[in-house]
Structure 1
Amino acid sequence: MSILNSTDFMSFDGNILKIHQMGSGRPILLLHGLFSSAEMNWIKFGHAQALCNAGFHVVMPDFRAHGQSSAPHDPAAYPNDVLVQDILCLLDYFAWDDYDLAGFSLGARTTAKLLTNGVKPNRAILTGMGWQGLSGWDGRRQFFIDAIDKRETVKRGDAHWFAVQFMKSQKIDPIAARLLLNSFGSMDVDALLKIDLPMAVICGRDDDDNGSAPLLAEKLSNAIYYEISGTHMSSVVETDLSGKMIEFLQQT
Protein backbone atom coordinates (compact mmCIF):
# COMPACT_ATOMS: atom_id res chain seq x y z
CA MET A 1 0.00 0.00 0.00
CA SER A 2 1.47 3.34 -1.06
CA ILE A 3 1.69 6.12 1.50
CA LEU A 4 -0.52 9.16 0.89
CA ASN A 5 1.27 12.47 1.34
CA SER A 6 -0.85 15.64 1.51
CA THR A 7 0.69 19.11 1.42
CA ASP A 8 -0.37 22.72 0.97
CA PHE A 9 0.42 24.51 -2.28
CA MET A 10 0.14 28.27 -2.71
CA SER A 11 -1.43 29.10 -6.04
CA PHE A 12 -0.88 32.18 -8.19
CA ASP A 13 -3.02 34.46 -6.02
CA GLY A 14 -2.02 33.22 -2.57
CA ASN A 15 -4.94 30.84 -2.08
CA ILE A 16 -4.05 27.37 -0.82
CA LEU A 17 -4.66 24.13 -2.69
CA LYS A 18 -4.28 20.78 -0.96
CA ILE A 19 -2.13 18.43 -3.05
CA HIS A 20 -2.26 14.67 -2.45
CA GLN A 21 0.50 12.41 -3.77
CA MET A 22 1.06 8.66 -3.84
CA GLY A 23 3.67 6.37 -5.35
CA SER A 24 6.77 6.93 -7.42
CA GLY A 25 7.64 6.68 -11.08
CA ARG A 26 6.07 8.36 -14.07
CA PRO A 27 3.91 11.36 -12.99
CA ILE A 28 0.19 11.47 -13.70
CA LEU A 29 -1.94 14.43 -12.65
CA LEU A 30 -5.55 13.51 -11.77
CA LEU A 31 -8.29 16.15 -11.64
CA HIS A 32 -11.55 15.40 -9.83
CA GLY A 33 -15.16 16.29 -10.60
CA LEU A 34 -17.51 19.05 -9.48
CA PHE A 35 -18.53 19.00 -5.79
CA SER A 36 -16.07 16.12 -5.30
CA SER A 37 -12.42 15.83 -4.21
CA ALA A 38 -9.27 13.83 -4.79
CA GLU A 39 -10.37 11.56 -1.93
CA MET A 40 -13.79 10.84 -3.40
CA ASN A 41 -12.83 10.43 -7.07
CA TRP A 42 -9.38 8.90 -6.93
CA ILE A 43 -8.40 7.62 -3.48
CA LYS A 44 -11.48 6.13 -1.78
CA PHE A 45 -12.26 3.53 -4.45
CA GLY A 46 -8.67 2.47 -5.14
CA HIS A 47 -7.90 4.18 -8.44
CA ALA A 48 -4.86 6.06 -7.13
CA GLN A 49 -3.49 2.88 -5.56
CA ALA A 50 -4.03 0.93 -8.79
CA LEU A 51 -2.08 3.56 -10.72
CA CYS A 52 0.69 3.43 -8.10
CA ASN A 53 0.82 -0.35 -8.44
CA ALA A 54 1.23 0.15 -12.20
CA GLY A 55 4.30 2.31 -11.65
CA PHE A 56 2.91 5.85 -11.55
CA HIS A 57 3.54 8.81 -9.27
CA VAL A 58 -0.02 10.02 -8.73
CA VAL A 59 -0.60 13.72 -8.00
CA MET A 60 -4.15 14.80 -7.09
CA PRO A 61 -5.05 18.39 -6.21
CA ASP A 62 -8.29 19.37 -4.54
CA PHE A 63 -9.73 22.09 -6.74
CA ARG A 64 -10.31 25.55 -5.31
CA ALA A 65 -13.62 25.53 -3.34
CA HIS A 66 -13.41 21.72 -3.02
CA GLY A 67 -12.04 19.18 -0.58
CA GLN A 68 -9.35 20.58 1.71
CA SER A 69 -8.45 23.54 -0.51
CA SER A 70 -9.32 27.18 0.10
CA ALA A 71 -12.92 28.20 -0.51
CA PRO A 72 -12.80 32.01 -0.37
CA HIS A 73 -15.94 34.15 -0.59
CA ASP A 74 -14.16 37.04 -2.29
CA PRO A 75 -15.29 37.27 -5.94
CA ALA A 76 -11.78 38.45 -6.82
CA ALA A 77 -10.55 34.92 -6.01
CA TYR A 78 -12.49 33.56 -9.00
CA PRO A 79 -11.14 35.20 -12.18
CA ASN A 80 -11.97 33.70 -15.55
CA ASP A 81 -10.93 30.03 -15.77
CA VAL A 82 -9.38 30.10 -12.31
CA LEU A 83 -9.10 26.29 -12.21
CA VAL A 84 -6.99 26.36 -15.36
CA GLN A 85 -4.81 29.06 -13.78
CA ASP A 86 -4.41 26.96 -10.62
CA ILE A 87 -3.31 23.87 -12.54
CA LEU A 88 -0.96 25.84 -14.79
CA CYS A 89 0.66 27.18 -11.62
CA LEU A 90 0.95 23.65 -10.24
CA LEU A 91 2.49 22.36 -13.48
CA ASP A 92 5.01 25.19 -13.41
CA TYR A 93 5.96 24.15 -9.89
CA PHE A 94 6.50 20.48 -10.77
CA ALA A 95 8.18 21.29 -14.13
CA TRP A 96 7.78 17.71 -15.38
CA ASP A 97 9.38 16.88 -18.70
CA ASP A 98 7.16 13.87 -19.26
CA TYR A 99 3.80 13.22 -17.59
CA ASP A 100 0.19 12.22 -18.22
CA LEU A 101 -3.01 14.13 -17.45
CA ALA A 102 -6.49 12.84 -16.61
CA GLY A 103 -9.74 14.22 -15.27
CA PHE A 104 -13.26 13.16 -14.36
CA SER A 105 -16.27 15.31 -15.36
CA LEU A 106 -15.28 18.88 -14.36
CA GLY A 107 -11.73 17.53 -14.18
CA ALA A 108 -12.10 16.28 -17.77
CA ARG A 109 -13.37 19.68 -18.88
CA THR A 110 -10.43 21.32 -17.10
CA THR A 111 -8.08 18.85 -18.79
CA ALA A 112 -9.50 19.82 -22.18
CA LYS A 113 -9.16 23.52 -21.35
CA LEU A 114 -5.55 22.96 -20.32
CA LEU A 115 -4.82 21.26 -23.64
CA THR A 116 -6.23 24.23 -25.55
CA ASN A 117 -4.02 26.48 -23.41
CA GLY A 118 -0.86 24.77 -24.63
CA VAL A 119 -0.31 22.13 -21.95
CA LYS A 120 1.42 19.12 -23.51
CA PRO A 121 1.22 15.87 -21.53
CA ASN A 122 2.28 12.65 -23.19
CA ARG A 123 -1.27 11.29 -22.99
CA ALA A 124 -4.59 12.70 -21.79
CA ILE A 125 -7.69 10.97 -20.43
CA LEU A 126 -11.20 12.40 -20.31
CA THR A 127 -13.55 10.42 -18.04
CA GLY A 128 -17.21 11.05 -17.32
CA MET A 129 -17.34 13.48 -20.23
CA GLY A 130 -19.24 13.65 -23.52
CA TRP A 131 -19.33 15.97 -26.51
CA GLN A 132 -22.13 18.19 -25.23
CA GLY A 133 -20.38 18.65 -21.87
CA LEU A 134 -17.59 20.45 -23.72
CA SER A 135 -19.46 22.12 -26.57
CA GLY A 136 -22.56 23.19 -24.61
CA TRP A 137 -21.31 23.84 -21.09
CA ASP A 138 -23.43 26.90 -20.35
CA GLY A 139 -26.58 24.83 -19.84
CA ARG A 140 -24.75 22.34 -17.64
CA ARG A 141 -23.29 25.15 -15.53
CA GLN A 142 -26.75 26.67 -15.04
CA PHE A 143 -28.06 23.30 -13.86
CA PHE A 144 -25.53 23.31 -11.01
CA ILE A 145 -26.11 26.97 -10.16
CA ASP A 146 -29.81 26.15 -9.88
CA ALA A 147 -28.95 23.19 -7.64
CA ILE A 148 -27.02 25.50 -5.32
CA ASP A 149 -29.85 28.01 -5.23
CA LYS A 150 -32.46 25.28 -4.54
CA ARG A 151 -30.35 23.38 -1.99
CA GLU A 152 -32.71 24.05 0.95
CA THR A 153 -36.00 23.53 -0.91
CA VAL A 154 -35.36 20.78 -3.45
CA LYS A 155 -37.54 17.67 -3.10
CA ARG A 156 -36.81 14.05 -3.94
CA GLY A 157 -37.69 13.49 -7.58
CA ASP A 158 -36.46 16.91 -8.67
CA ALA A 159 -33.74 16.77 -11.34
CA HIS A 160 -31.41 18.59 -8.94
CA TRP A 161 -31.95 16.25 -5.97
CA PHE A 162 -28.87 14.06 -6.34
CA ALA A 163 -26.57 16.98 -7.11
CA VAL A 164 -27.77 18.76 -3.97
CA GLN A 165 -27.38 15.66 -1.81
CA PHE A 166 -23.87 15.03 -3.12
CA MET A 167 -22.89 18.65 -2.60
CA LYS A 168 -24.11 18.48 1.00
CA SER A 169 -22.39 15.15 1.65
CA GLN A 170 -19.07 16.64 0.49
CA LYS A 171 -19.58 19.76 2.65
CA ILE A 172 -19.27 22.08 -0.33
CA ASP A 173 -19.47 25.77 0.52
CA PRO A 174 -22.38 27.01 -1.66
CA ILE A 175 -21.14 30.61 -1.85
CA ALA A 176 -17.68 29.57 -3.03
CA ALA A 177 -19.11 26.96 -5.40
CA ARG A 178 -21.41 29.48 -7.04
CA LEU A 179 -18.53 31.92 -7.55
CA LEU A 180 -16.42 29.14 -9.02
CA LEU A 181 -19.11 28.03 -11.45
CA ASN A 182 -19.42 31.57 -12.77
CA SER A 183 -15.66 31.67 -13.45
CA PHE A 184 -15.80 28.98 -16.12
CA GLY A 185 -14.98 30.27 -19.59
CA SER A 186 -16.27 28.79 -22.82
CA MET A 187 -14.47 25.91 -24.49
CA ASP A 188 -12.62 26.42 -27.76
CA VAL A 189 -13.77 23.10 -29.19
CA ASP A 190 -12.27 23.80 -32.60
CA ALA A 191 -8.83 24.15 -31.02
CA LEU A 192 -9.37 20.97 -28.99
CA LEU A 193 -10.29 18.93 -32.06
CA LYS A 194 -7.06 19.98 -33.78
CA ILE A 195 -4.82 18.66 -31.00
CA ASP A 196 -3.01 15.54 -32.20
CA LEU A 197 -2.36 13.94 -28.82
CA PRO A 198 -3.18 10.38 -27.79
CA MET A 199 -6.37 10.61 -25.73
CA ALA A 200 -8.77 8.21 -24.08
CA VAL A 201 -12.44 8.89 -23.43
CA ILE A 202 -13.70 6.63 -20.63
CA CYS A 203 -17.34 6.74 -19.61
CA GLY A 204 -20.02 4.70 -17.88
CA ARG A 205 -22.41 2.80 -20.13
CA ASP A 206 -25.37 4.62 -18.56
CA ASP A 207 -23.67 8.00 -18.14
CA ASP A 208 -25.07 10.63 -20.46
CA ASP A 209 -24.88 13.54 -18.01
CA ASN A 210 -22.38 15.31 -20.25
CA GLY A 211 -23.74 14.04 -23.54
CA SER A 212 -22.26 11.40 -25.81
CA ALA A 213 -18.81 10.08 -24.88
CA PRO A 214 -18.52 7.95 -28.07
CA LEU A 215 -19.22 11.08 -30.13
CA LEU A 216 -16.53 12.98 -28.24
CA ALA A 217 -13.99 10.24 -28.95
CA GLU A 218 -15.04 10.19 -32.61
CA LYS A 219 -14.58 13.95 -32.98
CA LEU A 220 -11.16 14.10 -31.31
CA SER A 221 -8.29 13.64 -33.74
CA ASN A 222 -6.53 10.79 -31.92
CA ALA A 223 -8.79 9.21 -29.30
CA ILE A 224 -9.90 5.77 -28.12
CA TYR A 225 -13.28 5.21 -26.45
CA TYR A 226 -13.58 2.83 -23.50
CA GLU A 227 -16.96 1.90 -22.06
CA ILE A 228 -17.24 0.84 -18.42
CA SER A 229 -20.20 0.03 -16.20
CA GLY A 230 -22.21 2.63 -14.35
CA THR A 231 -23.88 6.00 -14.38
CA HIS A 232 -22.15 9.35 -13.88
CA MET A 233 -22.27 8.90 -10.11
CA SER A 234 -21.57 5.17 -9.93
CA SER A 235 -18.85 4.77 -12.56
CA VAL A 236 -16.23 6.21 -10.19
CA VAL A 237 -16.58 3.16 -7.91
CA GLU A 238 -15.81 0.75 -10.75
CA THR A 239 -12.34 -0.79 -10.66
CA ASP A 240 -12.54 -0.83 -14.44
CA LEU A 241 -12.16 2.97 -14.44
CA SER A 242 -8.53 2.83 -13.34
CA GLY A 243 -8.13 -0.45 -15.22
CA LYS A 244 -8.94 1.21 -18.54
CA MET A 245 -6.79 4.22 -17.63
CA ILE A 246 -3.82 1.94 -17.03
CA GLU A 247 -4.50 -0.05 -20.20
CA PHE A 248 -4.43 3.15 -22.24
CA LEU A 249 -1.40 4.66 -20.49
CA GLN A 250 0.68 1.52 -20.94
CA GLN A 251 0.06 1.23 -24.68
CA THR A 252 3.22 1.37 -26.78
Structure 2
Amino acid sequence: MLLPVRYFPGLDDARLAFREVGEGRPLVLLHGFFSFATHQWVRPGHAAALAASGHRVIMPDLRGHGDSAKPHDPESYPRDVLADDTLALVEHLGLTDYDLAGYSLGGRTVVRLLARGATPGRAVVAGQGMDQITSESGGSVSALVRRVCTGLGTFEPGTVEWKAEQWLRSTGGDPVALLRVLDTVVATPAETVKRIQTPTLVVAGADDDRVRSTDALAAALPAGSHTVVPGDHSTAIATPGMGAAIAAFLHDQ
Protein backbone atom coordinates (compact mmCIF):
# COMPACT_ATOMS: atom_id res chain seq x y z
CA MET A 1 0.00 0.00 0.00
CA LEU A 2 1.48 3.33 -1.10
CA LEU A 3 0.06 6.30 0.76
CA PRO A 4 0.79 9.92 -0.17
CA VAL A 5 2.77 11.91 2.36
CA ARG A 6 1.29 15.06 3.84
CA TYR A 7 2.89 17.58 6.17
CA PHE A 8 2.00 19.62 9.22
CA PRO A 9 3.92 22.16 11.32
CA GLY A 10 5.34 20.77 14.54
CA LEU A 11 6.00 22.58 17.80
CA ASP A 12 8.54 24.96 16.26
CA ASP A 13 7.05 24.86 12.74
CA ALA A 14 9.29 21.92 11.83
CA ARG A 15 8.01 20.20 8.68
CA LEU A 16 6.64 16.90 9.94
CA ALA A 17 5.16 14.15 7.80
CA PHE A 18 2.06 12.03 8.18
CA ARG A 19 0.01 9.59 6.13
CA GLU A 20 -3.55 8.42 6.53
CA VAL A 21 -5.91 5.78 5.22
CA GLY A 22 -9.54 4.88 5.81
CA GLU A 23 -12.65 6.65 7.00
CA GLY A 24 -14.43 6.68 10.32
CA ARG A 25 -13.29 7.30 13.86
CA PRO A 26 -9.78 8.88 13.85
CA LEU A 27 -6.96 6.74 15.25
CA VAL A 28 -3.52 8.31 15.63
CA LEU A 29 -0.72 5.71 15.50
CA LEU A 30 2.79 6.55 16.76
CA HIS A 31 5.72 4.38 15.64
CA GLY A 32 8.81 3.35 17.58
CA PHE A 33 12.41 4.53 17.69
CA PHE A 34 14.58 3.90 14.56
CA SER A 35 11.38 3.25 12.58
CA PHE A 36 8.76 5.24 10.67
CA ALA A 37 5.05 5.01 9.97
CA THR A 38 5.17 3.16 6.65
CA HIS A 39 7.54 0.51 7.99
CA GLN A 40 5.79 -0.09 11.29
CA TRP A 41 2.11 0.35 10.51
CA VAL A 42 1.59 0.08 6.74
CA ARG A 43 3.89 -2.74 5.60
CA PRO A 44 2.76 -5.29 8.24
CA GLY A 45 -0.87 -4.65 7.24
CA HIS A 46 -2.00 -3.01 10.49
CA ALA A 47 -3.08 0.25 8.85
CA ALA A 48 -5.19 -1.52 6.22
CA ALA A 49 -6.79 -3.82 8.80
CA LEU A 50 -7.63 -0.95 11.14
CA ALA A 51 -9.01 1.09 8.25
CA ALA A 52 -11.16 -1.87 7.18
CA SER A 53 -12.56 -2.08 10.71
CA GLY A 54 -13.87 1.49 10.50
CA HIS A 55 -11.01 3.83 11.39
CA ARG A 56 -9.43 6.85 9.80
CA VAL A 57 -5.85 5.80 10.52
CA ILE A 58 -3.45 8.74 10.93
CA MET A 59 0.27 7.92 11.09
CA PRO A 60 2.89 10.61 11.64
CA ASP A 61 6.62 10.14 11.21
CA LEU A 62 8.03 11.37 14.51
CA ARG A 63 10.54 14.21 14.48
CA GLY A 64 13.97 12.87 13.49
CA HIS A 65 12.43 9.88 11.67
CA GLY A 66 11.16 8.91 8.23
CA ASP A 67 10.03 11.78 6.04
CA SER A 68 9.88 14.28 8.90
CA ALA A 69 12.44 16.98 9.59
CA LYS A 70 15.72 15.75 11.04
CA PRO A 71 17.43 18.92 12.31
CA HIS A 72 20.77 18.61 14.09
CA ASP A 73 20.38 21.72 16.24
CA PRO A 74 19.85 20.67 19.89
CA GLU A 75 17.37 23.53 20.28
CA SER A 76 15.04 21.67 17.92
CA TYR A 77 14.72 18.87 20.48
CA PRO A 78 13.27 20.26 23.71
CA ARG A 79 12.15 17.74 26.29
CA ASP A 80 8.81 16.10 25.51
CA VAL A 81 8.80 17.49 21.96
CA LEU A 82 7.30 14.29 20.51
CA ALA A 83 4.21 14.82 22.65
CA ASP A 84 4.12 18.47 21.63
CA ASP A 85 4.35 17.51 17.96
CA THR A 86 1.50 15.01 18.31
CA LEU A 87 -0.67 17.64 19.96
CA ALA A 88 0.16 19.92 17.03
CA LEU A 89 -1.03 17.22 14.61
CA VAL A 90 -4.28 16.75 16.53
CA GLU A 91 -4.85 20.50 16.38
CA HIS A 92 -3.84 20.70 12.71
CA LEU A 93 -6.43 18.08 11.78
CA GLY A 94 -9.07 19.49 14.12
CA LEU A 95 -9.51 16.20 15.96
CA THR A 96 -11.82 16.37 18.97
CA ASP A 97 -12.94 12.74 19.30
CA TYR A 98 -10.21 10.25 18.45
CA ASP A 99 -8.21 7.26 19.70
CA LEU A 100 -4.47 7.05 20.23
CA ALA A 101 -1.97 4.17 20.04
CA GLY A 102 1.80 3.81 19.93
CA TYR A 103 4.55 1.21 19.89
CA SER A 104 7.79 1.40 21.90
CA LEU A 105 8.86 5.07 21.80
CA GLY A 106 5.40 5.75 20.40
CA GLY A 107 3.83 3.97 23.36
CA ARG A 108 5.90 6.01 25.75
CA THR A 109 4.75 9.14 23.93
CA VAL A 110 1.13 8.05 24.33
CA VAL A 111 1.62 7.98 28.10
CA ARG A 112 3.22 11.44 28.01
CA LEU A 113 0.21 12.74 26.09
CA LEU A 114 -2.23 11.22 28.58
CA ALA A 115 -0.20 12.53 31.52
CA ARG A 116 -0.32 16.02 30.04
CA GLY A 117 -4.06 16.04 29.60
CA ALA A 118 -4.72 14.72 26.09
CA THR A 119 -8.24 13.31 25.93
CA PRO A 120 -8.50 10.47 23.40
CA GLY A 121 -11.47 8.20 23.88
CA ARG A 122 -9.19 5.15 24.14
CA ALA A 123 -5.47 4.54 24.12
CA VAL A 124 -3.06 1.69 23.45
CA VAL A 125 0.46 1.54 24.92
CA ALA A 126 2.38 -1.21 23.13
CA GLY A 127 5.92 -2.44 23.72
CA GLN A 128 6.38 -0.51 26.99
CA GLY A 129 5.95 -1.44 30.63
CA MET A 130 5.99 0.39 33.92
CA ASP A 131 9.78 0.08 34.17
CA GLN A 132 10.23 1.95 30.88
CA ILE A 133 7.52 4.57 31.46
CA THR A 134 8.92 5.62 34.83
CA SER A 135 12.57 5.64 33.69
CA GLU A 136 14.13 8.69 32.08
CA SER A 137 17.43 7.09 31.09
CA GLY A 138 15.97 4.46 28.80
CA GLY A 139 18.27 1.89 30.42
CA SER A 140 20.27 -0.58 28.36
CA VAL A 141 18.35 0.15 25.14
CA SER A 142 19.25 3.83 25.30
CA ALA A 143 22.88 2.95 26.00
CA LEU A 144 22.92 0.59 23.00
CA VAL A 145 21.48 3.25 20.71
CA ARG A 146 24.08 5.78 21.83
CA ARG A 147 26.89 3.29 21.17
CA VAL A 148 25.55 2.51 17.72
CA CYS A 149 24.94 6.12 16.67
CA THR A 150 28.40 7.22 17.78
CA GLY A 151 30.35 4.17 16.55
CA LEU A 152 29.03 3.42 13.07
CA GLY A 153 31.28 1.13 11.07
CA THR A 154 33.27 -0.12 14.06
CA PHE A 155 31.27 -3.16 15.19
CA GLU A 156 32.06 -6.81 14.64
CA PRO A 157 29.57 -8.58 12.35
CA GLY A 158 26.98 -10.52 14.29
CA THR A 159 27.15 -8.41 17.46
CA VAL A 160 24.08 -6.68 18.88
CA GLU A 161 25.58 -3.33 17.91
CA TRP A 162 26.27 -4.47 14.36
CA LYS A 163 22.69 -5.73 13.94
CA ALA A 164 21.32 -2.44 15.28
CA GLU A 165 23.54 -0.56 12.84
CA GLN A 166 22.19 -2.62 9.92
CA TRP A 167 18.65 -1.77 11.03
CA LEU A 168 19.56 1.92 11.28
CA ARG A 169 20.99 1.91 7.77
CA SER A 170 18.00 -0.01 6.35
CA THR A 171 15.60 2.63 7.64
CA GLY A 172 17.70 5.57 6.46
CA GLY A 173 18.10 6.81 10.00
CA ASP A 174 20.07 9.96 10.76
CA PRO A 175 22.28 9.12 13.78
CA VAL A 176 22.70 12.73 14.90
CA ALA A 177 18.97 13.42 14.82
CA LEU A 178 18.20 10.15 16.58
CA LEU A 179 20.61 10.97 19.40
CA ARG A 180 18.84 14.29 19.80
CA VAL A 181 15.49 12.46 20.01
CA LEU A 182 16.81 10.40 22.93
CA ASP A 183 17.51 13.62 24.80
CA THR A 184 13.82 14.60 24.61
CA VAL A 185 12.60 11.62 26.66
CA VAL A 186 10.71 12.42 29.86
CA ALA A 187 9.76 9.93 32.57
CA THR A 188 6.20 9.68 33.86
CA PRO A 189 6.05 9.04 37.64
CA ALA A 190 3.87 6.19 38.88
CA GLU A 191 1.73 8.70 40.79
CA THR A 192 0.90 10.44 37.50
CA VAL A 193 0.11 7.15 35.75
CA LYS A 194 -2.41 6.38 38.49
CA ARG A 195 -4.33 9.56 37.65
CA ILE A 196 -4.84 8.73 33.95
CA GLN A 197 -8.52 7.94 33.42
CA THR A 198 -8.52 7.04 29.71
CA PRO A 199 -9.35 3.36 29.02
CA THR A 200 -5.94 2.00 28.01
CA LEU A 201 -4.70 -1.32 26.68
CA VAL A 202 -1.11 -2.29 27.51
CA VAL A 203 0.27 -4.91 25.11
CA ALA A 204 3.68 -6.44 24.40
CA GLY A 205 5.27 -9.48 22.82
CA ALA A 206 5.51 -12.60 24.97
CA ASP A 207 9.29 -12.71 24.46
CA ASP A 208 9.85 -8.98 24.89
CA ASP A 209 11.85 -8.12 28.04
CA ARG A 210 9.43 -5.25 28.59
CA VAL A 211 6.53 -7.66 29.12
CA ARG A 212 7.77 -8.19 32.69
CA SER A 213 6.30 -4.87 33.77
CA THR A 214 3.37 -4.43 31.39
CA ASP A 215 0.96 -5.97 33.88
CA ALA A 216 2.18 -3.47 36.48
CA LEU A 217 1.49 -0.59 34.10
CA ALA A 218 -1.99 -1.90 33.31
CA ALA A 219 -2.69 -2.33 37.04
CA ALA A 220 -1.56 1.23 37.79
CA LEU A 221 -3.90 2.71 35.18
CA PRO A 222 -7.40 3.16 36.64
CA ALA A 223 -8.96 1.89 33.39
CA GLY A 224 -6.06 -0.28 32.25
CA SER A 225 -6.14 -3.72 30.67
CA HIS A 226 -3.36 -6.04 29.54
CA THR A 227 -2.70 -8.59 26.82
CA VAL A 228 0.26 -10.41 25.31
CA VAL A 229 0.91 -11.23 21.65
CA PRO A 230 3.55 -13.47 20.01
CA GLY A 231 7.06 -12.19 19.39
CA ASP A 232 9.84 -10.16 20.97
CA HIS A 233 10.32 -6.39 20.87
CA SER A 234 11.51 -6.45 17.26
CA THR A 235 9.02 -8.96 15.88
CA ALA A 236 5.80 -8.45 17.86
CA ILE A 237 4.95 -5.25 15.99
CA ALA A 238 5.12 -7.07 12.65
CA THR A 239 2.79 -9.93 13.63
CA PRO A 240 -0.96 -9.91 12.85
CA GLY A 241 -1.58 -10.37 16.57
CA MET A 242 -0.54 -6.81 17.36
CA GLY A 243 -2.97 -5.23 14.93
CA ALA A 244 -5.71 -7.65 15.99
CA ALA A 245 -5.20 -6.80 19.67
CA ILE A 246 -5.45 -3.08 18.95
CA ALA A 247 -8.56 -3.51 16.80
CA ALA A 248 -10.29 -5.77 19.33
CA PHE A 249 -9.66 -3.33 22.17
CA LEU A 250 -10.91 -0.32 20.23
CA HIS A 251 -14.12 -2.12 19.26
CA ASP A 252 -14.79 -3.62 22.69
CA GLN A 253 -14.85 -0.28 24.46
Tell me if structure 2 keeps the 8 A contact 1:132–1:210.
no
Shift of 1:84: 1.2
Q: Which secondary structure does the structure 1 equivalent of 2:209 belong to? A: coil
- Aligned-residue CA RMSD (Å): 1.7
Give the whole-Å Cα distance in 2 for the aligned partners of 1:188 and 1:162.
Answer: 33
| Number of positions where the alignment pairs a residue of Structure 1 with one of Structure 2 | 251
Q: Which secondary structure does the structure 1 equivalent of 2:5 belong to? A: strand
Q: Which residue of 2 aligns with 1:212?
A: 213
Q: Which residue of 2 aligns with 1:124?
A: 123
Q: Which residue of 1 aligns with 2:104?
A: 105
Give the whole-Å Cα distance in 2 for the aligned partners of 1:186 and 1:208.
Answer: 19
Give the whole-Å Cα distance in 2 for the aligned partners of 1:102 and 1:32.
Answer: 9
Give matches, 1:1-252, under 5 Å. 4-138=3-137, 139=139, 140-156=141-157, 158-209=159-210, 211-252=212-253
Cα distance change of structure 1 residues 156 and 214 upon mapping to structure 2, 3 Å threshold: farther
Q: Which runs of 5+ in 1 are unaligned?
A: none
Tell me if structure 1 keeps the 8 A contact 2:136–2:185.
no
Q: Which secondary structure does the structure 2 equivalent of 1:249 belong to? A: helix
Q: Which moved more, 1:143-152 or 1:130-139?
A: 143-152
Cα distance change of structure 1 residues 94 and 188 upon mapping to structure 2, 3 Å threshold: farther
Shift of 1:240: 1.1
Q: Which runs of 5+ in 2 are unaligned?
A: none
Tell me if structure 2 keeps the 8 A contact 1:129–1:203.
yes
Q: Which secondary structure does the structure 2 equivalent of 1:101 belong to? A: strand
Q: Which moved more, 1:143-152 or 1:190-199?
A: 143-152
Q: Which secondary structure does the structure 1 equivalent of 2:44 belong to? A: coil
Could you list the per-position Cα deviations for residues 70-115 of structure 1 after superposition, in whole angstroms to 9, with x for gaps in the alignment?
1011111111211111111111112222110000000000000011
Q: Which moved more, 1:141-150 or 1:171-180?
A: 141-150
Q: Which secondary structure does the structure 1 equivalent of 2:252 belong to? A: coil
Could you list the per-position Cα deviations for residues 109-131 of structure 1 after superposition, in whole angstroms to 9, with x for gaps in the alignment?
00000111110100000111112
Corresponding letter in the other structure for 1:87: T
Give the whole-Å Cα distance in 1 for the aligned partners of 2:42 and 2:207.
Answer: 23
Tell me if structure 2 keeps the 8 A contact 1:6–1:20.
yes
Shift of 1:137: 3.6
Tell me if structure 1 keeps the 8 A contact 2:16–2:69.
yes
Q: Which moved more, 1:80-89 or 1:106-115?
A: 80-89
TM-score (norm 2): 0.93
Cα distance change of structure 1 residues 68 and 161 upon mapping to structure 2, 3 Å threshold: same
Q: Which secondary structure does the structure 1 equivalent of 2:169 belong to? A: helix
Tell me if structure 2 keeps the 8 A contact 1:130–1:208.
no
Give the whole-Å Cα distance in 2 for the aligned partners of 1:67 and 1:211.
Answer: 30
Give the whole-Å Cα distance in 2 for the aligned partners of 1:157 and 1:219.
Answer: 39
Q: Quick one: percent identity of the two aligned structures?
A: 35
